[in-house]
Each structure stands twice: as C-alpha cells, then as structure tokens.
Amino acid sequence: MKGLEIEYSRILTIFSIIDLSSNNFRGEIPKSIEKLNSLRGLNLSHNNLTGHIPTSLGNLKNLESLDLSSNKLVGEIPQQLTNLMFLVVLNLSVNQLVGPIPQGRQFYTFENDSYSGNSALCGIPLSKKCKELQALPPPPTFQQDENSDKSSGFSWQVVVMGYGCGFVFGIVTGYLMFLTRSLEWLMKIVEGKQYKKLKGSKKSAH
C-alpha cells in the first residue's frame, strides 16, 4: 500500500472490496466472513477452495459482486444468497455444485454464464430441468395374507365365530317367541272353553 508492505494480523471490517483471486488457497471459506458487513465486492476465484458455500454469505447485505468461480466447491447453492438485494455480479462457474438454482430477487437477473461448468446444477436459467418429485407409492391392495390378518386382529375364524353366535342367538330368540305365542294361543283356547261351560251352566240354572 503506497509502496509499503504491510502485514495485517486480521482483516479489517472497513474493507469494502477483497480480491484474493488466482492464488493457491486451500480449505473452506470461513463462516466468519459474515463479519465483513461493509463488504461490497468479494473475489475468491481461481483457487483450490473446497467444501460448501457458507450460508453466512447471505448476511453480507451490501455485497454487489461475488466471484467464487474456478474452485472445487461442492453442495447446493445456499438459498440465503437470495437475501443479497444489491448483488449485481455473480460467478459460481467451474465448480462441483449440485441441485436446483435458488429463485427469487436478484437471482432472476443472472444468466447461464454464472453457473457454467457445474454439470449437476439444474433449474432456471439453465435448460436442464430439475427432476420432479418421485411418484407416490401405489395404494395398498385389499389382498392380505394370513400373517397380515393375524397382525390386524381380524381373520376368517373370527367371522365364523361371530356368524355362529348370531345364528344360535337367532334360534333361541325365535324359539322363545314361538313358545310365547303358543302359550297365548293355548290360554285363549282354555278361556274360550271355560266361557262356554259358564254360559251353559247359566242356561241350565234358568
């Protein structure tokens, strides 16, 4: 800086642009990068960075440019990046990213070049469509084996027992009804005979 070589013990949060591109940096992008809340431009391209894109990048509300191209980043693009309302430039090309591209806000403005070189990415603006959800499994059939009948507590033996009990109950009930009506009929006959005898005795008395 101004002809001087200065070594910083830590990155100052007042920096608005960081360009660490075309080095041989390895490892993952630190999640603590979210502390650089004044950052407007971040360029980490052409390194050997691995791991996932940290979701904490979505907290850099002032970020206007993000270049993570030509690394070895894996996983999906975090949905949190759609929170970057001022993001104008996005380059995630030549990585190993997978899954659907997030939709919404600034992501509607980015074209194919932002995602090229990631064969497993899908969704707008790429021509590769994401696979639809797998079809639901077919509904269970009504055919059940003997084991399933036992596990559900319902089997043909239970049906036979219920049918037999109902049959016996019906016979007993019918017999009682028949016996009751027979007794009523017999009583009527007896009462009729007694009435005739009583009538005959009255005539003889006259």
Q: Is the pTM of this model over 0.75?
A: no
Q: Where are the domains of the chain?
A: 17-122, 146-205
Look at 167 and 70; give whichever has higher pLDDT: 70
Band (pLDDT 50/70/90 cuts) for residue 182 is: low
DSSP string over 182-201: HHHHHHHHHHHHHHHHHHHH
Instruction: Specify the pLDDT at position 166.
Output: 67
Look at 82 and 202; give whichever has higher pLDDT: 82
Average pLDDT for 28-45: 91
- Say if residue 19's pLDDT is above 80: yes
Distance between CA atoms of residues 91 and 67, nearest Å: 5
pLDDT over 90, % of the chain:
44
Average pLDDT for 62-88: 94
Distance between CA atoms of residues 60 and 65, nearest Å: 11
Least confident residue range of 13-22, 35-44, 53-62, 172-181: 172-181
Burial (CB count within 10 angstroms: exposed 0-12, middle 13-18, buried 19+), residue 119? exposed
Q: How much is the mean pLDDT over the chain?
A: 78
Instruction: Specify the pLDDT at position 135.
Output: 41
Instruction: Specify the pLDDT at position 191.
Output: 59
Q: What is the pLDDT of residues 110-169, one digit of tens each?
A: 999 999 999 999 999 988 888 864 444 555 554 544 454 444 455 556 656 666 666 666
2 to 5, 6, 7, 151: CA distances (angstroms):
9, 10, 14, 83
- Say if residue 195's pLDDT is above 70: no
The domain defined by 17-122 folds into 3.80.10
